[in-house]
Amino acid sequence: MNSESSTPTNLPRGYIQTSPYWDGLRERRLVLQVCLDTGRFQHYPRPTSIFTGSQNLGWQEASGRGRLVAWTQVNKTSPHMQGIVELDEGVQILALVLTANESHQLRVGQQVALTWPDSRLPLTGPIFIPTSD
């Protein structure tokens, strides 16, 4: 696993129409796909609603708050962990997770929130950081 970089800069784009998500990240907002029939979020973006099968889909900004349901670290040399975050909007997202400091360890069940790095480098996805112990 050590050969894997967690921050590639040449991202493949658009397996379907996904630009609202990527445009959102550039503006430091987490914009997710929403099924307009049911009002439910889905992530990753799909060509159809996984709830109804229709293409009545839209995009909406998510709160960026949620709960860590699992975490690991596939590359020990990277400061990033990989996690699954259950957002308050009721959708699970794979994301990078940072710890508050180097000695801190992530804990499943922790509250997390979005954090945006200062760098102007393109983001590869949202990054979360714990907001509770």
Footprint of other proteins on this chain (CB under 8 A)? 1, 4-8, 11-15, 18, 43-45, 50-51, 69-75, 78, 80, 82-84, 86, 90-96, 107-109, 124-125
Burial annotation 106-117 (CB, 10 A radius, 16+ → b, else e):
beeebebebbee
User: By C-beta, is 101 or 109 nearer to other proteins?
Assistant: 109
Two tokens, residue 65: 């708050």
User: By C-beta, is 12 or 27 nearer to other proteins?
Assistant: 12
Residue 74 CB, nearest approach to other proteins (Å): 4
Residue 108 CB, nearest approach to other proteins (Å): 3
Q: How far apart are alpha carbons 69 and 72 in whole angstroms?
A: 11
Closest CA to 78 of 62, 99, 57: 99
User: By C-beta, is 60 or 82 nearer to other proteins?
Assistant: 82
Q: C-alpha dihedral over 44, 47, 52, 58, to 10 degrees?
A: 80
Residue 75 CB, nearest approach to other proteins (Å): 6
Residue 27 CB, nearest approach to other proteins (Å): 18
